[in-house]
Chains A and B, each alone.
Chain A
Amino acid sequence: MTERIERELWLPATPEAVWEAVTGDGWLADRVNLDLRPGGDAHFVTSGRIRSGWVEDVSAPDRLSFWWAVDQEPASRVELRIEEHQDSTRLRIVETRPLEVLDLVGVPLPGPGGVTYGPALVAA
């Protein structure tokens, strides 16, 4: 078992409507700023609490994966998958924190295209 959260939700809506809801303001955070391309910046603000990260992979309207972290806390990876099944749509969410050990020993997180992301980038 890994440090992993999984959820799923069935919705009577089109994948496009679900995509719009989950990537827009008010769902992942109050204010969501996602540069929807691999390596794009991601910023999330909810009542003064800022999370930032980057987009790992995107394929609208069915797949989005990104990394996010609050300040120096260990980053986690979020994967959203949207699948149409007959006349309903399934949204699946997986959030994992696979690099906690690396964070603990101060190794920077992997970033898009092999670029490091996080404190080490600031130091460099």
Chain B
Amino acid sequence: MEDRASAVFGALSDPTRRALLAAIAEHPATTATELAAQLPISRQAVLKHLNALTNAGLLDRTRSGREVRYKFTPAPLSEAVDWMTAVGAEWDERLALLRRQLGGAAATRRASAWPTRSRGGAAGTPIQRGGIPK
């Protein structure tokens, strides 16, 4: 099962979809035909992206005659971002506390790419031998 927030971020990972979302936010009640006229992609491709954005809860569809009009609905985005921001800030505070308790100058970072090599810093710095430099 796909997580709602994953769907939101997945939908936003594509630059074309972000451009579409920006265009719709600026001009509410836009149609796929109007959007295709503004972007260098086909109406078919626009519809595919609009479906992804709608499934992520970022767009609201209303039928109007033969056309479907789209409106930007940012609620799921702010919910996901709120959670990421609040929880991230809590961990940053806890890590800062731990560093004060145990850590000297140890480094903290976002761990999107966990390193395998050993690091410098307080713990990794080799002990100076042969006396203190004058």
Contact A100 B103 (CB under 8 A): no
A interface majority secondary structure: mixed
Name the 8 nearest CB pairs between A and B, nearest first.
Answer: A88-B123, A12-B123, A3-B5, A8-B111, A6-B111, A1-B9, A13-B102, A10-B106
Contact B6 A7 (CB under 8 A): no
Q: Chain A, 9-50, contact with B by CB distance < 8 Å: what is the 0/1 string?
A: 111110001100110001110000000000000000000000
Beyond A3-B3, A22-B98, A97-B5, whether A12 also contacts B104 by CB under 8 A is yes
Rounded to whole Å, the gap between the CB of A66 and the closest CB of chain B is: 14
Within the complex, which residue of B10, B103, B114 is in contact with A92, where a contact is CB–CB below 8 Å?
B114
- Taking CB atoms, residues of chain A closer than 8 Å to B29 are none
Within the complex, which residue of A2, A18, A86 is in contact with B6, where a contact is CB–CB below 8 Å?
A2
Q: Is B97 an interface residue (CB 8 A)?
A: yes
Q: Is B74 an interface residue (CB 8 A)?
A: no
Rounded to whole Å, the gap between the CB of B106 and the closest CB of chain A is: 4
What residues make up the interface of A, taking CB atoms closer than 8 Å to B?
Answer: 1-3, 5-13, 17-18, 21-22, 26-28, 76, 85-89, 91-93, 95, 97-102, 104
Rounded to whole Å, the gap between the CB of A19 and the closest CB of chain B is: 11
Within the complex, which residue of A21, A95, A97, A104 is in contact with B102, where a contact is CB–CB below 8 Å?
A21
Closest to A14 in B: B102
Beyond A1-B9, A3-B80, A27-B97, whether A10 also contacts B121 by CB under 8 A is yes
Rounded to whole Å, the gap between the CB of B20 and the closest CB of chain A is: 19
Kindly name the residue among A11, A13, A18, A27 whose own CB sees the greatest number of chain B CB atoms within 10 A: A11
